[in-house]
């Protein structure tokens, strides 16, 4: 005969830590099933008992508004409790909150501190962000060699953004001797993982060495993703198509990406796209000839301060590859 044990008796047997651990596991189970209210209830119980993983998970729920109202201040409070106990994920999130000023005052020095704590535990995202702080001089004195050190740590673990940023360091000779072969190697490794920053950098490299087909191929890959340099990549890709009639349907493709790039909030990019698009309409390249439309686009370009030569901006973009966050 099987004897059942009442839940109360089980709780008498288990320690508080055991109960907190059990509640955290059950909270994760509900969270993964998108049963957020149930997850929050269990995370709260475990978090109050000091379980660091539950504190981190509860912070995430407050940050994302899952099972509770979105509250950045409470999120930071729980991240801080977990971070103080050495939870690397919470340390990373706390670093982000201080860097961007969500739920707490913006403080780059504190961001560096918490990125450093998580990075020392092997967290690749923290290592990459710490490298960015050293590269940019945010919260710490600018030190390209230290940036490279942390990028290398994360890149060795397969972090694609770190690999791309490491490629930029080799391309620009920042923290390491300039080495185009190593730059292309790291861009290629990251691009193969689908990193749009690396794909864009690789596209710019192939354009630099006059391999326009590969340049277009990698830029096409990059512009499919949402990333910081998307509009810039669209303009760059459009210029490749516009200037290379040997690529099938080049003018129509140029028009497609110019229309996208001109929606950029960056007047330099938007204005340059308008300027080149006006040439397409004036000459009937990729679109039906429309002089009125061409004049309107040219006026828009001038209103945005465009100097009238997209090549000037393109060459500016190719001179230095910037690390991405």
pLDDT in tens, 290-323: 999 999 999 999 998 875 567 777 777 666 666 5
Q: Can you tell me the mean pLDDT for 142-155?
A: 98
| Minimum mean pLDDT range among 18-22, 72-76, 98-102, 316-320 | 316-320
Query: How much of the chain exceeds pLDDT 90, in percent?
Result: 83
Can you say how many angstroms the Cα of residue 203 is from the centroid of all Cα atoms in its chain?
18
| Helical spans, DSSP H, in the chain | 7-13, 16-32, 36-48, 52-64, 72-84, 88-100, 108-120, 124-136, 144-156, 160-172, 180-192, 196-208, 212-222, 230-242, 250-261, 267-283, 291-303, 310-319
**Burial bucket for residue 112 (CB in 10 Å: 0-12, 13-18, 19+):** buried
Model confidence pLDDT, tens digit, residues 209-265: 999 999 999 999 999 999 999 999 999 999 999 999 888 889 999 999 999 999 999
Can you say how many angstroms the Cα of residue 200 is from the centroid of all Cα atoms in its chain?
14
**DSSP per residue over 281-298, as a string?**
HHHTSSS---HHHHHHHH
| pLDDT at 13 (0 to 100) | 60
Mean pLDDT of the chain: 91
Model confidence pLDDT, tens digit, residues 84-138: 999 999 999 999 999 999 889 999 999 999 999 999 999 999 999 999 999 999 9
Q: How many Å is the Cα radius of gyration of the chain? A: 25
| Minimum mean pLDDT range among 70-79, 161-170, 303-312 | 303-312
| pLDDT at 146 (0 to 100) | 98
Instruction: Band the pLDDT of 12: cuts 50, 70, 90.
Output: low
| pLDDT at 18 (0 to 100) | 85
Q: Most distant CA pair in the chain: distance in Å?
A: 92
| pLDDT at 153 (0 to 100) | 98
């Amino acid at each position: 005969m099987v004897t059942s044990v009442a839940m109360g008796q089980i709780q008498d047997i288990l320690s508080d830590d055991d109960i907190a651990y059990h509640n955290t596991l059950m909270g994760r189970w509900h969270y993964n099933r998108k049963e957020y209210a149930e997850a929050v209830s269990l995370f709260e119980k475990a978090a109050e008992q000091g379980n660091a993983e539950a504190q981190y998970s509860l912070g995430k729920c407050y940050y994302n508004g899952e099972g509770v109202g979105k509250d950045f201040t409470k999120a930071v409070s729980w991240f801080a409790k977990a971070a103080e106990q050495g939870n690397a994920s919470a340390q990373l999130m706390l670093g982000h909150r201080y860097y961007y000023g969500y739920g707490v005052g913006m403080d780059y020095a504190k961001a560096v501190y918490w990125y450093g704590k998580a990075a020392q535990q092997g967290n690749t995202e923290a290592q990459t962000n710490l490298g960015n702080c050293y590269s940019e001089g945010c919260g710490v004195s600018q030190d390209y060699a230290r940036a490279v050190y942390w990028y290398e740590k994360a890149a060795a673990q397969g972090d694609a953004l770190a690999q791309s940023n490491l490629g930029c360091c080799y391309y620009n000779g920042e923290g390491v001797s300039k080495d185009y072969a190593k730059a292309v190697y790291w861009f290629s490794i990251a691009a193969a993982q689908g990193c749009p920053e690396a794909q864009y950098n690789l596209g710019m490299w192939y354009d630099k060495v006059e391999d326009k087909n590969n340049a277009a191929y990698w830029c096409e890959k990059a512009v499919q993703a949402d990333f910081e340099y998307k509009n810039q990549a669209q303009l760059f890709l459009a210029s490749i198509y516009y200037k290379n009639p040997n690529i099938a349907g080049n003018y129509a493709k140029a028009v497609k990406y110019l229309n996208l790039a001109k929606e950029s909030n960056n007047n330099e990019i938007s204005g340059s796209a308008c300027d080149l698009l006006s040439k397409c309409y004036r000459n009937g390249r990729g679109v039906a000839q429309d002089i009125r439309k061409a004049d309107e686009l040219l006026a828009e370009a001038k209103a945005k301060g465009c100097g009238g030569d997209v090549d000037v901006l393109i060459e500016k973009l190719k001179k230095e590859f910037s690390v991405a966050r």
